[in-house]
Chains A and B, each alone.
Chain A
Amino acid sequence: MNHDGAAMVEGVRKEDGLIALRGVTMRFRYQTVLKEIDLTIRRGQTVCIIGESGCGKTVMLKLMIGLLHPTKGRVEFDGADVASLSGPDLVKMRLRFGFLFQMAALFDSLSVFDNVAFGLREHRVCGEQEAHRIVLDRLKEVGLPAGVESKKPAELSGGQRKRVGLARALAINPEVMLYDEPTTGLDPIMSDVINELILQTQQTKKTTGVVVTHDMKTVTKVADRVVMLYPLSRLEPGESQVLYDGPPEGLEDSPDPRVGQFVRGEAGERLREMALQRHGSGR
């Protein structure tokens, strides 16, 4: 099922897998969220990670960029162990990533312009004039009207915030874009706009993409490959947490019924469990 091929030869790895999770286990104080995950993402690929809320999708993105470190196993980026990076190497690695956070995570105290310019200025990527041009270009690319750059994030709508977040991530010309639920909380039209922007980024900038989502429209539109995670607490002992890893077309035909249920949005088993629990507690 792992169509990236477990039989990858050492040495080819570096070129083949830009991001690699090797036997990654992530434990927080009270729960284990990810268990022995193996995942290799190739350069240029766009991978959608799907799965229900709380199954560890955001944690996985944060592991990739080194905001979290695995309890066990290792995360590699371009052949380097992410956990071992520090100082200038860590900064260099971070700047090869763009991260669109779930609620955009714009800096409240800064204007839209300063938000988008943040990475450029902080690392003196270019002069102030050049930065000015890049910021306005990026804002235009994500379809925001002129004049928005002087506003504060609090004055924007959800869809506008997401687009500013995207512009901020793209300003530093990343090789890899990480999107955390880019369409969650947006109306269908704005969702489509965002999907379109993801597609556009992927095509014009040739970025590698990891898109965490439970929006099947996003999956069909942007994914080359889909990985489905399942919450560890619901897994039978011995099962892999990755229920599906393959092209988006194969999702419906997956032999695992839980994949189809997720794709079609059927609660199925869960409703029966809830009824059972209600019944149990009523006794």
Chain B
Amino acid sequence: MAVVPLEASSKPTEAPSTPVTRLGEQVFDTVAEVGDVARFSILTIVWIFRKRPRWSVLVPIFYAIGVKSVSVVAITGTFIGMVLAVQAYHQFAMMGLATRLGSVINISIVRELGPVLAATMLAGRVGSSMSAELGTMRVTEQIDALSALGTNPIYYLVVPRFLACLLLIPLLTLMGDFMGVIGGAVISTQVLNVDSFAYWKHTRDFVDSLDIFAGVFKSYFFGAAIALISCHRGFNSKAGAEGVGRAATEAFVFSFIVILFLDFVLGLLWNSIYSAMYPQSEGLL
């Protein structure tokens, strides 16, 4: 009788899967993944300088990423300002420091909440949809079709999205800052009856343009990270609706983690630069 090759016997015997080997694989995968994102990022940057994308490609992407994100960033910004005012008011009022609300709310917004929120919204609204779009293109071989037609997919697909995120996120951040500041001020001075003059005076004493710049500076890194992570996820999407859905989710989750990580690292960096420039004030490092 003929020997029937069953699945198991036709494959080389593999090492048994133990918790240790699985952990090893996981670590190996993570390192390989980080390396791959780095390679992808370098290629993207090389292509930015090699060939400028066409306007007909850039404009719709800038529109989709920038203009369509304005409302969501504005709304979340406003609410964060208002929530901050409501939450902080009682503590400050108890100590008789209600007029200090202005400095606390506004410094939190321009240095931390504005940039991080704008980035989170961009990651959620734009990052996951870019990843799903590119993932669909990968799965339906459209990315291969680009290469087959002699067009580099990184040049055609990633560079425009990267530029849009990088160049538009500072504007979105400023927009979020502005709405947050307005939201906080309206609640504080109109609803909670904090003295308006004192509110703004304390704001002006404690918040300067350098603080706003610190937030905007960080946002460039957030925008770059969102674009690169989301496009990379999309490019490596696995087949099927499930694969594309997972790419979109992962794009958001990874972007969000990296945003928080960068926020921490850039915060430290900024403080040490600041204390180097103005030695009398103390930095964290």
Contact = CB atoms under 8 A, between A and B. Distances in A.
Interface of A: 62, 65, 67, 90-92, 94-95, 97, 99, 101-103, 105-108, 118-119, 122-123, 168, 172, 233-234, 236, 269, 272-273, 276-277, 280
Contact of A234 (B5, B140, B141, B145): B5
Contact of B141 (A92, A101, A119): A101
A106 B11 CA distance: 37
A102 B140 CA distance: 9
A91 B50 CA distance: 15
A81 to B, nearest CB: 18
A277 B150 contact: no
Contact of B148 (A99, A103, A106, A233): A99
B6 interface: yes
Interface in B109-141: 136-137, 140-141
B149 A105 contact: no
5 contacts: A90-B150, A94-B148, A99-B144, A236-B5, A269-B4
Contact of A105 (B10, B140, B151): B140
Contact of B10 (A101, A108, A172, A233): A233
A156 to B, nearest CB: 14
Contacts of B140: 103, 105, 108
B91 interface: no
B142 interface: yes
Contacts of A168: 149
Residue in A122, A269, A277 whose Cβ sees the most chain B Cβ within 10 Å: A122
B147 interface: yes
A34 B5 CA distance: 19
B145 A105 contact: yes
Q: B interface, how many residues as a size bin?
A: 20 to 34
Contacts of B142: 105-108
B149 A276 contact: no
Given A101-B141, A105-B141, A105-B142, A67 B4 contact: no
- 6 cross-chain pairs, A with B, having the tightest CB-CB distances, nearest first: A105-B145, A105-B141, A94-B150, A99-B148, A91-B150, A119-B149
Given A108-B137, A234-B10, 9 more contacts: A91-B150, A94-B149, A97-B148, A103-B140, A107-B137, A122-B149, A122-B150, A233-B11, A269-B2
A207 to B, nearest CB: 15
A163 to B, nearest CB: 15
Contacts of B7: 233
Contacts of B147: 67, 94
B151 A122 contact: yes
A95 B150 contact: yes
Contacts of A97: 148
A108 B149 CA distance: 16
B231 to A, nearest CB: 15
A190 to B, nearest CB: 20
Nearest to B12: A32
A151 B137 CA distance: 19
A241 to B, nearest CB: 14
Contacts of B141: 101-103, 105
Nearest to B7: A233
Contacts of A107: 137, 142, 145-146
Contacts of A92: 150
A239 to B, nearest CB: 12
B145 A101 contact: yes
A105 B144 contact: yes
Contacts of B144: 62, 67, 99, 101, 105
B148 A123 contact: no
Interface in B1-44: 2, 4-7, 10-11
Contacts of B4: 269, 272-273, 276
Residue in B4, B141, B149 whose Cβ sees the most chain A Cβ within 10 Å: B149
Interface string B149-173: 1110000000000000000000000
A99 B142 CA distance: 11
Contacts of A233: 7, 10-11
A236 B3 CA distance: 10
Contacts of A102: 141
Contacts of A67: 144, 147-148
Contacts of B6: 273, 276-277, 280
A107 B140 CA distance: 9
Nearest to A65: B148
B154 to A, nearest CB: 13
A103 B4 CA distance: 35
Contacts of B146: 107
A102 B151 CA distance: 20
A272 B10 CA distance: 17
